[in-house]
Amino acid sequence: MGHGGEHDVEQPLAGGRLTAGVARVGDTVRRPASPASRFVARLLTHLAKTGFDGCPQHLGWDQHGRHILSFVPGHVPPRWQHFTDDQVGQAATLLRQLHDATRELASSLRGEVVCHHDPGPNNTVFRNGQPVAFIDFDFAAPGHPLEDVGYMAWAWCISSRPDRGPATEQARQVRNLADAYGLSPADRGRLPAAIRQRLRRNEAFWRDILDDQVASVPHARSAEVLAWTQRELAYTEANQETFIAALRPA
């Protein structure tokens, strides 16, 4: 099959909390244009040239002005959950490969890498139980690797829910993530603070959405996500010494 003819049936794609109107057409995905679309196109074009295949391909724009991306087959988890050490390690390895593939582009933009800025499992495609690609690059921007590693450590390893295991086990898995990514000793020491910083940024982000009453996000939903983020931040801060200890050199 080709890249999806204009007469192929559109199938709405669920998952994104903020981007409405995303649809699959044939073997492509159509995303409504946003202020981020041009940079995402530039980034994905650069990644394709480097040989990194853990993301969609930029295919142009359709007659409605929507961004055309290749459809990445696989499974996207419907919710955050417990992931195995192997899955966490694979996600961290994939993130390192993404970052390394962006270094040349990022250097021209005064950044160390281009960060995804939302590399949670909800933006990750799995095949055969393993993470193989990131999707939804709307928040991508130049930055420091720890911005993404800190977010990933929270999203994949840490949870205030009692059924997700004790903080000591979560901290051990964060160490596994740091090992798989290949963090330097200095950055390992900075990772606990980076996790807390990303949670504070998320808290501010969702408070702004709640205050601005963004039309695409129901008020009750944004209030729910804000409250959850605040619980996660409080839990992480209460257990910060556990995470710091787990990342110290053996």
Mean of pLDDT values over 174-182:
98
- Predicted local distance difference test score (pLDDT) of residue 1: 35
- Predicted local distance difference test score (pLDDT) of residue 249: 85
DSSP state of 203: H
DSSP state of 124: E
- Better-scored residue on pLDDT, 222 or 194: 194
- Predicted local distance difference test score (pLDDT) of residue 215: 65
pLDDT tier at 218, thresholds 50, 70, 90: confident
Residue type, 127: R
- Predicted local distance difference test score (pLDDT) of residue 14: 62
pLDDT tier at 227, thresholds 50, 70, 90: very high
All residues at 6 or more sequence positions from 16 whose CB lies less than 8 Å from its CB, including other chains: 22, 136
Mean of pLDDT values over 116-120:
97
**89 contacts 177 by C-beta, under 8 angstroms:** yes
Q: What are phi and psi of 209, to 5 degrees?
A: -65, -45
Residue 89 has pLDDT above 60, yes or no: yes
Query: Alpha helix locations (H) across 108-214?
Result: 145-157, 167-181, 185-212
pLDDT tier at 182, thresholds 50, 70, 90: very high
| Nearest-angstrom CA–CA distance, 226 and 114 | 26
All residues at 6 or more sequence positions from 211 whose CB lies less than 8 Å from its CB, including other chains: none
- Predicted local distance difference test score (pLDDT) of residue 4: 46
Residue 247 has pLDDT above 90, yes or no: yes
Mean of pLDDT values over 158-166:
95
**192 contacts 150 by C-beta, under 8 angstroms:** no
Residue 94 has pLDDT above 80, yes or no: yes
**121 contacts 81 by C-beta, under 8 angstroms:** yes
- Predicted local distance difference test score (pLDDT) of residue 20: 60
Residue 7 has pLDDT above 70, yes or no: no
- Better-scored residue on pLDDT, 16 or 112: 112
Query: What Cα–Cα distance (Å) separates residue 114 from each residue in 10, 83, 127?
Result: 31, 25, 25
Mean of pLDDT values over 11-33:
77
The CATH architecture of the domain made up of 85-246 is: Alpha-Beta Complex (3.90)
Give the end-to-end CA distance of the chain in Å, rounded to a whole number.
Answer: 53
Average pLDDT, the chain: 92
**Whole-number CA gyration radius for the chain:** 18
pLDDT tier at 119, thresholds 50, 70, 90: very high
Residue 21 has pLDDT above 60, yes or no: yes
| Nearest-angstrom CA–CA distance, 92 and 156 | 10
Residue 15 has pLDDT above 70, yes or no: no
Residue 35 has pLDDT above 60, yes or no: yes
